[in-house]
Amino acid sequence: MRGGPESETTTDERHSSQVAFDVNDARRELTLDNRTTLLDALRERLGLTGAKKGCDHGQCGSCTVLLDGSRVKSCLVFAVTLDGRSVVTVEGLAGPDELSPLQAAFVAHDAFQCGYCTPGQLCSARGMLDEVTRGWPSAVTDDLTTPAELTDAEIRERMAGNLCRCAAYPHIVAAIRETATAR
């Protein structure tokens, strides 16, 4: 792993905080070392291992979750900041025994190979489709003053924050396109 010292420990209670936030519609209360990212809180304290740790530096997108409805990289958010806020992970996109339309489209289009990036792709796509519904433009939108049409080029640009090392991109684009069309 790249980076700075990871081994520093703290026994100073000023370095920990109590925090309460919703995860997949259930209130969770935790006492956390302030250094704990949302990703680590989900995976190591709450047993929600859907969000994946890829790069841990905000570059790969495999840790993407929805925070108050917006897609974010959970490796770059300290959990201590989240008091009163609401998080949805891949485990919360549909009930335990069902698939959301987006998840079903990923299966139908074979939009993954190893699957490691898939939870992040799904949460990112969910957030991205909501952004399109709100009329948000992207870097490839020609006319900023009218709502963008969701072409394949738009999908690719808007999903640029999610890498897939198996390069399942064509199938990911197809699955998202089908979900958007069906909406």
Chain contacts with other proteins (rule: CB under 8 A): 2-6, 8-10, 12, 14-15, 17, 33-35, 37, 56-58, 61, 64, 67, 70-73, 75-78, 80-81, 124, 127-128, 131, 134-139, 141, 144-145, 156-162
* Residue among 18 and 107 whose Cβ is closer to other proteins: 18
Minimum CB–partner distance for residue 86 and other proteins (Å)? 14
* Residue among 44 and 110 whose Cβ is closer to other proteins: 44
**138-146 contact pairs (CB < 8 A, 24+):** none
* Residue among 11 and 96 whose Cβ is closer to other proteins: 11
Q: How far is CA 17 from CA 13, 36, 119, 176, in A?
A: 8, 10, 28, 39
Q: Please give the sequence-ordered ranges of beta strands (E in DSSP) within the chain, or none if there are none.
A: 16-23, 26-33, 64-67, 70-73, 86-88
* Residue among 26 and 139 whose Cβ is closer to other proteins: 139
In the DSSP assignment, the letter for residue 37 is: B
* Residue among 31 and 107 whose Cβ is closer to other proteins: 31
CA 58 to chain centre: 11
Q: Is 86 helix (H, G, I), strand (E, B) or coil?
A: strand
Is residue 30 within 8 Å of residue 79, measured between CB atoms? yes
Minimum CB–partner distance for residue 21 and other proteins (Å)? 14
**Identity of the amino acid at 90:** V
Minimum CB–partner distance for residue 42 and other proteins (Å)? 15
Q: Say how far apart CA 176 and CA 121 lie, in whole Å.
A: 10
Minimum CB–partner distance for residue 154 and other proteins (Å)? 11
Minimum CB–partner distance for residue 97 and other proteins (Å)? 29
